[in-house]
Amino acid sequence: MAEQHRKMSLDSGWLAARSTEVEFSGTQLTTTHPPPPPPTTSPIPPWMNALVPGTVLGTLVKNKVIPDPFYGLQNESIIDIAVSGREHYTFWFFTTFHCSLLENQYCDLNFRGINYYADVYLNGHEISLDKGMFRRHSLEVTDIIHPDGHNLLAVLVHPPNHPGTIPLEGGQGGDHEIGKDVTTQYVEGWDWMAPIRDRNTGIWDEVSISVTGPVKIIDPHLVSSFSDDYKRAYLHTTIELENRSLSTAECSVSIQVTTEVEDDICLVEHLQTQSLSIPSKSRVQYTFPELFFSKPNLWWPNGMGKQSLYNVVIVIDVIGFGESDLWSHHFGFRKIETYIDDATGGRLFKVNGERIFIRGGNWILSDGLLRLSKKRYNTDIKFHADMNFNMIRCWGGGLAERPEFYQCCDNYGLLVWQEFWITGDVDGRGVPVSNPKGPQDHDLFLFCARDTVKLLRNHPSLALWVGGNEQIPPDDINAALKIDLRLHPYFEHADENGKPIRELSPMSKDPSQYLDGTRVYIQGSLWEGFADGKGNFTDGPYEIQNPESFFRDDFYKYGFNPEVGSVGMPVASTIRATMPVEGWQIPLFKKLPNGYVEEVPNPIWEYHKYIPYSKPAKVHDQIQLYGDAKDLDDFCLKAQLVNYIQYRALLEGWTSRMWTKYTGLLIWKTQNPWTGLRGQFYDHLLDQTAGFYGCRCAAEPIHVQLNLATYFIEVVNTTSEELSNVAIEVSVWDLEGTCPYYSVHENLSLLPKKVEPIAEMKYPKSENPKPAYFLLLKLYNMSDYRIISRNFYWLHLSGEDYKLLEPYRKKNIPLMITSKVSVQGSTYIIQMLVKNTSKSQYRKDLPYEHSSSARLMDGLYGTDSVEAAHNGTDKEHELSWFNRIHRSFFGKSDGLKVSEIKGYDVGVAFFLHFSVHDASKIGYKEGKDTRILPVHYSDNYFSLVPGEALSVNISFEVPLGVNPRVTLHGWNYNAEHNIL
């Protein structure tokens, strides 16, 4: 994130009080009657410790003045602003800070986001802040700062002008009144979200003090351009400089570009200094001469290459003063192109000249009460990268996301589609039609939009701007955005030969002189290559589907689907942690006359927007395919089985038509900003569902899969490299632990960026196929048996179900788990090797065991170790194998532990999953969750066939003094097995 020189964040020590309960004015609060300092026990009413950045509701929850609105039905006990009136959520925020100035120094008080407007008092002086949630405020307070350095700051924050009311029937955006203001629109509630009672009133983003010399740097713009097939790059830079002094400033302005070659060792790529003169009390724009880079390290999206970043530092020195200001930002050399693909009609994206098949998700925001943090952002975005996604869409009813969000996307390679604050439900759609002219103040909307562009435009992850969700902005706003965000000629679409649509020269301006100029502006999410491209409601569907439907020709007929969604039930521990006992009741399964089942959830689930696992008349209940759910744990476990299948099939179905029918898709949605029960891959407590790992599997860059419509085995290669000398191993395993079908397809070559059908899966057509069975696909290199892709299915014959898996839970399959722990500060890194030690009878000439072990080699073990393990048949060889693995572990070791789960059956160890807990808490007590979250797993919800082993890496942080324990569960491992 860009940082001003000598910047101090004001993120602690704040107090808050309801305005109607404070008897003093802002002038008095910041002069003669400041609030008393908070006592060590509890605050003195009406003042309480405040959450800044944050919202009024966040502060009230923090102080337990109101209950947690995300727990059970407690949100219903919190008074809504429509009932209380705006004054109830109009709050004072107060803090003190130390800042003293030297001669010729200047001070700014900066607010990066206030909702909705505020009156600011500093040391008795009043400054009014204009309306608008998505605008920055930078106030020069040089003459107000106290000479002794002790300063008092009070901010009276007012809610949005049109908070609206919540109709009894709910709805998308409540009564839509919120759309009259330039603010978040989800706060009146949606079909996935309960209303936010204060409508996010507060100082919701960073507050800071920055001190500069006479000249200040404002909003630099960095742009890269390329030539010679990306072997030559140019950095274009334009800045604004403001001279606040009463005399002309003679300056030298320098730009330095460095790259990190090793930890804490940087290489200076460029250092350029220019002289200029800036008149007194004036602003000037300055464009640096372009900087040339030979063979730069490029920034690539996740799955395409490294996310190489350079550090750009701009310094302004004033003669007679010295360093006046400094600005820095991480920057990535990359070029994004996008256009409507002739073959599919979908919008196609290219990065650095290479096509990228978009597989990503829709994002609302991290937390509904805007309790945003760098740490949470890092977890959120790493989760998306772990799922092998390459794009996140910031939906128009949510936020213009923060620089910290974008910094994480830069680091992990997630392209970002950023929408402005228009949604069809709130702006121009519905009965009656809502706000056809959008927000009341169009000039305010455009000011916020332009300011947002300046805030975010230097991030390489930012891919495109979109006017709104399922709606375009009003005509005048849309026309202005098209002009403001027009592309520089260099960034206009080139044809397949790389030639621009029109000549690039003469260029009227350096590209960094544009507001953006590098990213396309699309007027709405259903226009110009998305959905039907014409604005008709053609995204979705949003419910459970038969898995094979995603592969059928008629499932979705447009090239790029910006929203397709499904279920998202979390694990049982999350339900217990977020709901009282009455919320632990599973749905009633109501049999309908047509043979389908309707799920009837309890009222708490319904309030939390539960979406059922059946669609009567179209999709039979997918949980009941496994038999009747007995209780909450059983229901949630079966829901995870469905989650995995559902989302893997969704992505595999789309990917099977890569470039022939589709250019991409975005799943609705990846997470919930509260404790919702639909459309998520991890819950609000940051525990992943099995759908997370279904996506991770399906979206890997090179992937072997089964087309559920044609029953052909396919290989998807989304990379730019051709694969040769590879093979696919196909093995079917029945519930008795035998392998009734086995085949190997060898000497395959796979072209880049292509889906290749390999062979039809013959087993279901063979004699006496089992009604339910397991299928394991492995794509591997023939030269060293290294596994490139592994995919495990559980399947049933047409007209059958998975009920035979219920008695399979009694199978007692032996496991051996070797683990090694490394601790770095508060971070635990655990490496696991999990092996199904049951022995199956099958032909000894098959290469199965060789290839199944190859995945373990990836960066951790040597091939000889695996051969020793899998060729050995006695305990001596097993111990030799684990000793070899022990020697291969790197870093400081806390010892190697081998855990065994005894068993006497032969078969698949099915649906294994780890979890991490606080060892001091035994079992679950109401209100006490033993889990340590978040945890990053290299794999989870996995299955192992007889003799197979898999490595799993686990990392997490623990609070000081907490000892973690790792447990293993599985379909046929009902007891809790403590591994560490």
Of 242, 337, 401, 470, the active-site residue reads: 470
DSSP state of 481: H
Is residue 513 classed as helix, strand or coil in its secondary structure?
helix
Is residue 516 classed as helix, strand or coil in its secondary structure?
coil
Is 103 a residue of the active site? no
Q: Which residues of 777-789 are buried (b: 16+ CB within 10 A; e: fewer)?
A: bbbbbbeebbbbb
User: How far apart (Å, rounded) are the C-alpha atoms in residues 474 and 439?
Assistant: 9
How far is C-alpha 742 from the chain's CA centre? 39
Contact present, 193 and 186 (Cβ < 8 Å): yes
Burial class (CB in 10 A: 0-12, 13-18, 19+), 494: middle
In the numeric block, which tokens belong to residue 225? 């351009």
User: How far apart (Å, rounded) are the C-alpha atoms in residues 227 and 766?
Assistant: 57
Of 177, 188, 242, 563, the active-site residue reads: 563
Which residues have a Cβ under 8 Å from the Cβ of 849 and sit 6 or more positions away?
870, 947, 948
User: How far apart (Å, rounded) are the C-alpha atoms in residues 301 and 349?
Assistant: 11
Is 714 a residue of the active site? no
N-to-C CA span, the chain? 38
Neighbours of 893 (CB within 10 A): 12
422 closest CA partner among 173, 114, 165, 179: 179
Looking at the chain, the number of H-run helices and the number of E-run strands are: 15, 47
C-alpha separations of 91 from 14, 50, 51, 201 in Å: 12, 10, 12, 9
Neighbours of 373 (CB within 10 A): 12
- Looking at the DSSP bridge assignments, the partners of residue 257 are 270, 312
E strands in 141-194: 150-158
Compute φ and ψ for 588, nearest 5 degrees: -80, 135
E strands in 387-520: 391-394, 415-419, 462-466
- HSE (side-chain half, CA atoms, 13 Å) at 872: 16
H/E stretch holding 843 reads none
User: How far apart (Å, rounded) are the C-alpha atoms in residues 915 and 109?
Assistant: 45
User: How far apart (Å, rounded) are the C-alpha atoms in residues 437 and 423?
Assistant: 12
52 closest CA partner among 86, 11, 17, 15: 11
- HSE (side-chain half, CA atoms, 13 Å) at 291: 26
- HSE (side-chain half, CA atoms, 13 Å) at 212: 26
In the numeric block, which tokens belong to residue 292? 């040339």
E strands in 177-248: 207-212, 215-227, 232-243
Contact present, 511 and 225 (Cβ < 8 Å): yes
Active site residues: 470, 563
